Amino acid sequence: MRIRKPRLDLDEVVREFRPKIGFKVRRALGARNPDWEDVTNEVLAQAVEKIRAGEFRGDSTIGTFIYTITVRRITDYIRRKTKVLKFVPEPDTPDTPPEHAEKDQELKRMIAALATLKPQYKEVLNLYYLMEMTREETARRLGLSPAKVSERVNYAQKLLRRKMRR
């Protein structure tokens, strides 16, 4: 019996997984690490190569397949970097590349939107996200129920998205 290999649109794979791989790599290496984009590209190149070589047989989802490659590549990077750092000082963080300017702009607009929130939303974001209190701690501090805290955080997010669209 012949096993039918799943047919994948590689452009679609790259389009869908680049942000996911980038997100995971940034979280693992730190958003200020200038190498995160190189590592992301290496993961994508390796994934495409393996798919072309027929190494993805459909035993797992394509997401799990690419996730496994990502985690291995991150581990390699950290191992290699640890060896290098024994002898070489860390280079300065370069200026923000132009392709990241849009992301930075988005962050700036979000910060501006935060400033316009009503105090009841600011105080819950301050305790829950900035001070990293748990939902229960935040609830106790504000005299609310934990469910109400979640509701306020979710509504604050909705308000922020709405303000950013204006």
Please report how close the Cβ of residue 131 comes to other proteins at its closest, in angstroms. Answer: 9
Based on the shown chain and the rule CB under 8 A, indicate whether residue 66 belongs to the binding site for other proteins: yes
- Shorter beta-carbon distance to other proteins: residue 84 or 158: 158
**Which residue pairs, CB below 8 angstroms and at least 24 apart, start in 60-66?**
62/6, 62/8, 62/13, 63/17, 63/20, 66/13, 66/17, 66/20, 66/21
H-helix segments, the chain: 10-29, 36-52, 62-85, 101-115, 119-125, 135-142, 146-165
Q: Is 61 in the site for other proteins (CB under 8 A)?
A: yes
Find out whether 154 and 140 touch, Cβ atoms under 8 Å: no
Residue 9 binds to other proteins (criterion: CB under 8 A): no
Report if residue 20 touches other proteins, rule: CB under 8 A.
yes
Is residue 152 at the binding interface for other proteins, with CB under 8 A as the rule? no
* Single residue of 43, 135, 139, 152 touching other proteins by CB under 8 A: 135
- Angle of helix 36-52 relative to helix 10-29, nearest 10 degrees, comes to 140
**What is the end-to-end Cα distance of the chain in Å, rounded?**
58
Q: Which of 114, 140, 144, 163 binds other proteins (CB under 8 A)?
A: 114
By CB under 8 A, tell whether 125 contacts other proteins: yes
Binding site for other proteins (CB under 8 A): 16-17, 19-20, 23-24, 31, 61-64, 66-67, 70, 106-107, 110-111, 113-115, 119-120, 122-123, 125-126, 128-130, 132, 135, 150, 153-154, 156-157, 160-161
